[in-house]
Amino acid sequence: MNWTTEQILGLAPDQFTLRAARSTAEPERWTALHHDGRLLWAIFPNGSAKTAETAVHLPSHTYTCTCNSRKTPCRHTVALLLLWHENRPAFTAQPAPRTLAARANRHTIASQRPLRHSYSLDTQLAHLQTGLNELALWLTDLVRHGLARLPDRPKSYWHTMADRLVDAQAPTLALELRRLATVPTAQPNWPEAYLQRLGQLHLIIQGFRHFDQLPATTQADLQTAVGWLPPPHNDTPPSTDRWLVLGRQQEVLGSQTHHFTWLWGQDSQRPAQLIELAAAARPEGRCLPTGTVWHGALHFLPGSWPLLATRQGDFGAEATAVYPHGFPTIHDATQAHSQALAHNPWLPAFPMLLHNVLPHHANDTWQLLDRHGTTLPLPDKFGHGWHLAALAGGAPSLTLFGVWQNHILHPLSVCHAGVWHDVHTWRGIR
């Protein structure tokens, strides 16, 4: 495990976990720090609460912890990796307790199995259709009363319908409604933002009403749009490549946490959104730091524009570099996005790896600028613009990876002097 401190900190899902992991990464705060050659294991006291038992399986880079954090990885896992990297003599050789070793072993074995799907299409479609019919009536009432009243609506207006969609096993649609509750109505174009996203929901409803008449790939697109994973086609060969990790995202959908790792293949020069599932109430998963390269096979799930993928077997670390082509201009990126939408109009997110760009600050907002003067908007109150501007040095020289979603580019990582950095590890100046 030849990861840098920055790569380990980049595994933290947010700034709070990162800071907590830094303060936790002190040997004297742990009651046990041990290893047995393949397994790091440690015990952290939590005062009057139950102690946290944390384990990292080094060969597979999987982790598990008994704390009650809903953030994955939790502060104990990140702190344990930091200690192993920065203070290895603090660990003594000792076998893990049987219960902890068994738990870590079960998680490692489970992570190597093919992804199982938690639903039967035939039995769930009718249940989903009932929830979508309720959503259609809700959208009709919303439009009938007009968008002008939306700023006065409480969040419960959105969350009640979102909870109903969770019951109907459409977790991605539920998440979208909760996001709509946070759309800033202070922006002059907020009605347009609402209409576009509500129109997308209506398109999904219409798609499922004609589900049986649609091609198999379009059916798979619709299943992905509501939060189901379409079963892979056995006749589709896996894609074996050297994959560069460009960033991570995670979403808590119902009782599961969906871990998304963005990858870029060297030989195929294609992006992939690797998905792995874990119980929402249990911090466990796999460590794939930004900037690392892995050799392995991915099985792309069916769809009109395949992007979502699962592992076919395990990943092995690679020492060679990967040089992703990406897009030389923002125009090329937006053209590729338009082509992807022509194949899959329900595509929730589009990966953009942009070369020769520069952050630009104007009217209290940040944009990304290329050599031709084309811009892309960055998130409202983006907190890392000055860091990116400092790296760019006043010229469009950055290579940046981000996810285009809801007409906003969300930067995840940036390459500087040949090294990839997680953007979210920086405390931005606002």
Q: Quick: pLDDT tens for 39-48.
A: 999 999 977 6
Q: Per-residue confidence at 303, pLDDT binned at 50, 70, 90?
A: very high
Q: Which two tokens stand for residue 37?
A: 């050659």
Q: Which two tokens stand for residue 47?
A: 């005062």
* pLDDT, mean over the chain: 89
Inform me whether the pLDDT recorded for 365 exceeds 80.
Answer: yes
Q: pLDDT at position 206, please?
A: 95
The answer to whether residues 184 and 151 touch, using CB atoms and an 8 Å cutoff, is no
Pairing of strands 32-35, 92-93: parallel
The distance from CA 334 to its chain's CA centroid, rounded to whole angstroms, is 21
Q: Quick: pLDDT tens for 249-258.
A: 988 776 777 8
The answer to whether residues 246 and 413 touch, using CB atoms and an 8 Å cutoff, is yes
**Percentage, residues of the chain above pLDDT 70:** 93
- Report d(CA 29, CA 100) in Å as an integer: 20
Q: What is the mean pLDDT of residues 206-227?
A: 94
Contacts of 195 (CB under 8 A, 6+ apart): 147
Q: Per-residue confidence at 86, pLDDT binned at 50, 70, 90?
A: very high
The answer to whether residues 150 and 185 touch, using CB atoms and an 8 Å cutoff, is yes
In order of 105, 296, 342, 426, the CA distances from 422 in angstroms are: 30, 23, 31, 8
Q: pLDDT at position 110, please?
A: 61
The residue length of the chain stands at 430
Facing residues of 419 across strands? 416
Q: What is the mean pLDDT of residues 12-17?
A: 90
The answer to whether residues 83 and 27 touch, using CB atoms and an 8 Å cutoff, is yes
The answer to whether residues 414 and 401 touch, using CB atoms and an 8 Å cutoff, is yes
Q: Which two tokens stand for residue 261?
A: 């790792």
Q: Which two tokens stand for residue 228?
A: 């189901």
The H-or-E segment that residue 42 falls in is strand 39-46
- Report d(CA 43, CA 202) in Å as an integer: 50
Q: Which two tokens stand for residue 326?
A: 């990406």
pTM confidence score = 0.91
Q: Quick: pLDDT tens for 282-295.
A: 788 889 999 999 99
Say which CATH topology domain 239-318 has.
OB fold (Dihydrolipoamide Acetyltransferase, E2P) (2.40.50)
**How many Cα atoms occupy the beta-carbon half-sphere of 21 within 13 Å?**
29
The distance from CA 26 to its chain's CA centroid, rounded to whole angstroms, is 29
CATH, domain range 330-425? 2.40.50
Q: Per-residue confidence at 428, pLDDT binned at 50, 70, 90?
A: very low
